[in-house]
A and B are shown apart, each in its own frame.
Chain A
């Protein structure tokens, strides 16, 4: 053999080895996931950091596309009856569980029965309450689960019947509470069924490791129908509770995506990592609740004075530093099924000085001046950003004759006090569960009498107007989406004109995305499924 031949052979072998090595090198997405997941059981999960994991391990009848809009998932198609009540789903023939078994309609029957079973104690079961008889099963009123509006017609046909037409129902099916489960696996392993050695899912990835406090790891599932189009082989969901440390890890190249970052680093990121910090509108509202059950905030003029004297334009850009948009209404911009113009009160267009003068006058009419101020307690849950906003707003209120006492407490104590009605002004926030205007408007519905007590739900301020309740009720029965939206707009205006609460800003999502990652599209739900992403080295 000539020396050139030897060289050629060596070169070929070398190239081959190199090729094989690079082929064997799995593409891993290192995702800074935020908090530690409390549960990845679809019926017990409750946070977006859990959704980011559960939504890769399971897939519902409908899934999210790259913009988080619903697309066919495990169901390849569906039909809806003319009255909007009966949905018939055709399940994909090639849908399989990670242990190779076919996905069948019965998996959803089992899942929904488990979701509503009082014994499961699922936090978010109410999100699927549009389904017929679900609320009654959840409350224990109906014990015969076969009365639930979810039926398997055959292995690949599922029929879901609703209580009333629900325009956002397909969207709600992308939520993890609507994922199928394997009853046999749960019965076999009990509470431990979500551990990596036991779990069986039907999503694009399967869980192989879970080290609490540190990370979870998932690998591509061989049985997923779309496995060939997955560009990411492995996902490592890293715990990034400490945001500053997470940013350090990102800067060192250890993480590809951060799902949050410290607000005070936004400027630094824009200057040093241009285009990598993504700040985008997000379906959520940050607001103050006003206790309207007792004086002085039962007086609508005082509520008005408080609301119009808040200079919202400085909160996002200056107090927080991340450019949150000022909120004057109750439904976040971009919310689905909400055709029509966004609510914007006339006073919001007036110059701030003029608003302050008007607020001063309203306060003086109610008998309060800077010399004889109204004393209010402002409660918030302990958090640096909440504190900064509270201090800024307390200062804005000082000029109109309101003396604010700031009171902070840990989250559990704070919400306990709000629920008990033990406050004047309280900080609250709401991220939409599903993309529909009714989700925030329901927050201001009157309480429901239960036995001797009133259940006010999340309506901490206890705003109550029968006309508002009637509008929402009418809207829930309206099939025509445009007419329905008009009713909801009317309700929003009614509540906001009475200053039912003080909206402060619309939330934004904050992500940092490495230039190596493609397929990450900012969207109002801040849901970015890994199946659409790819990573270049």
Chain B
């Protein structure tokens, strides 16, 4: 197991290098640069700025300068958030994103699993119908609209919760953002759990268990849950990576710190350093999550272990 994990980690290195290379050059091929705004800068000024960020050097040299920097943990400056280095931006945003993402992940996953299991056990009865309807809502309605609705209802009309903003320790400010992030995730988990649970409950070995007289609750706990989880677990990896990186809307609507916005805005602003920094981070997150999912797979399904 350990050797397997180690091998996976080592194969990550060429993947990261390849990502940096492809990303670096594609980014420079895109028209427009970080200093193309509403106003044309006087050429002298533009030349000074380009020299400041080494953009006047040959591209290949810039590339090696960047890779050498990354190897030493220096991801360079942000060209839009000029008072910050890429490392500092990520350093401030990442812990918050992780906290928000993991909380939403846990809330969504637990709620989704419970709801999905209840629906499967009560297949074609009212709890099932209710769930099938309810989980469609957060999947159909885009989250910026949903966020606006919960802000109006819980913040503006009922005054139960703060509408947005954040100060350290103000956990009440995080209730609505977590809710908005967790809902579509929970809905997907619930649908997957329900589907796979119904399938498992119809298999021969469950029928055997039932025929030998085991109680419904015991069958569920001992025989049905584990195999029913396999498709759910394979979704959890990408699901978590989405929660950790797709928080742009939630960050902007609720005015929260985090790195989700950089994935979008940095690319639009041609903030080269930030795009590369977040992409490298994203690659690491994906690789790490895939590894974890594979390990959990092996635990859930002995067949994977022996393959």
Contacts and interface: CB of A to CB of B under 8 A. Distances in A.
Given A412-B32, A456-B40, 5 more contacts: A119-B48, A245-B151, A249-B151, A249-B164, A458-B39
Contact of B147 (A140, A245, A249, A251): A245
A254 B36 contact: no
A117 to B, nearest CB: 9
A248 interface: yes
A248 B258 CA distance: 21
Nearest to A39: B82
A252 B44 CA distance: 48
B256 A213 contact: yes
B43 A39 contact: no
A213 B82 contact: no
A119 B81 contact: no
A268 to B, nearest CB: 12
Interface string A381-421: 00000000000000000000000000000111111110100
B155 A252 contact: yes
B83 A195 contact: yes
Contacts of B41: 123
A212 interface: yes
Contact of B36 (A120, A240, A416): A416
Given A138-B44, A245-B151, A213 B93 contact: yes
A138 B42 CA distance: 10
B37 A121 contact: no
B156 interface: yes
Contacts of B37: 46, 411-412, 415
A244 interface: yes
Contacts, number: 164
Interface string A95-123: 00000000000000000000000111111
Nearest to A136: B44
A416 B32 contact: yes
Contacts of A38: 80-83
Given A126-B45, A251-B156, A214 B38 contact: no
A140 B44 contact: yes
Interface residues of B, number: 58
B89 A212 contact: yes
23 contacts: A36-B81, A38-B80, A41-B83, A118-B44, A119-B48, A119-B52, A120-B48, A126-B45, A191-B77, A191-B83, A212-B84, A213-B261, A214-B257, A240-B255, A246-B255, A248-B156, A249-B164, A254-B162, A411-B32, A412-B33, A419-B36, A419-B40, A428-B38
A39 B83 CA distance: 5
A7 B207 CA distance: 78
B163 A252 contact: yes
B262 to A, nearest CB: 9
B39 to A, nearest CB: 6
Identify which of A140, A213, A249, A455 gathers the most chain B CB atoms within 10 Å of its CB. Answer: A213
Contact of A245 (B31, B36, B77, B148): B148
Contact of A244 (B43, B148, B257, B261): B148
B194 interface: no
Contact of B43 (A245, A254, A413, A455): A455
A442 B155 CA distance: 48
Contacts of A414: 32
A125 interface: yes
B142 interface: no
B32 A254 contact: no
B45 A125 contact: yes
Contact of B255 (A135, A138, A192, A245): A245
A416 B165 contact: no
Nearest to A460: B40
A164 to B, nearest CB: 18
Contacts of B251: 213
Nearest to B97: A213
B225 interface: no
Given A41-B82, A245-B253, A252-B163, A416 B33 contact: yes
A457 B151 contact: no
Nearest to B155: A252
A44 interface: yes
Most chain B CB within 10 A, of A125, A140, A211, is at A211
Given A39-B83, A242-B252, A254 B165 contact: yes
A241 B51 CA distance: 31
Interface in B236-290: 251-258, 261, 268-270
Given A121-B52, A213-B93, A215-B255, A248 B36 contact: no
